[in-house]
Amino acid sequence: MKAPTCLIAAFVAAGLAASAFAASVLEFDVWMRAIDKSSVAVQKSIARQDAPAARAEAREIERLYALMEAFFRDDVPAADALQVSTEGRELAASIAPLLEAGDYERAGGAARRIAQACNDCHDPHKPFK
Ligand code: HEC
């Protein structure tokens, strides 16, 4: 029981070490699907003026864009993708204070701008080569 488990673990470890890039790309796809979901959700929450939900979703987008920012700075350096990530993170961070001020109009505008920028990164970078 113990030996085969160790063997599998060793193979997995070797595989990950041999392809750190593939591992981070897998992780990237997980972030992307979460970004996709949160980006739609935050726009809906702002539209129905549900500030607590919108705040949580905006914070999640901010967290994911920060991960993506680090990815395009350190793992797969790409200046344009880094810039889109930074702008998206800043837009997401701007949503909570706008909600606080009751400015759903501008909060919605920030959420839309994040969604409109997806293709600025997808066109040049998706899929990974
Ligand atoms: C800064 C770059 C960047 C931004 C911004 C970005 N994406 Fe992506 N996205 C990518 C890349 C690169 C891939 C391809 C990943 C791959 O090839 O594995 C991707 C893949 C995807 C996928 C497919 C994931 C999968 O399971 O294969 C979805 C869905 C997606 N993005 C949605 C979005 C949405 C929605 C937004 C905007 C709200 C967005 N992305 C913003 C870079 C970005």
Within its chain, how far is the Cα of 109 from the centroid?
19
72 CA distance to ligand 1 middle (Å): 13
Rounded to an integer, what distance in angstroms lies between the CA atom of residue 100 and that of residue 42?
Answer: 15
| pLDDT at residue 6 greater than cutoff 70 | no
Residue nearest to atom 17 of ligand 1 (CA): 127
Compute the distance from residue 13 Cα to the ligand 1 centre, in Å.
27
68-77's contacts with Cβ under 8 Å and 24+ in sequence apart are 68/28, 68/31, 68/35, 71/24, 71/28, 75/21, 75/24, 76/21, 76/24, 76/128
Q: What percent of the chain has pLDDT over 90?
A: 76
Decide whether any atom of ligand 1 lies within 6 Å of the 21 Cβ.
Answer: no
pLDDT surpasses 60 at 16: no
Pick 16 or 38 by higher pLDDT: 38
Answer with the residue of higher pLDDT: 18 or 122: 122
pLDDT in tens, 86-103: 999 999 999 999 999 999
pLDDT at 129: 78
Shortest-distance Cα residue to atom 37 of ligand 1: 118
Q: What domains does the chain contain, in order, with CATH numbers?
A: 21-123 (1.20.120)
pLDDT score of 15 more than 60: no
pLDDT digits (tens, 9 = 90+) for 27-68: 899 999 999 999 999 999 999 999 999 999 999 999 999 999
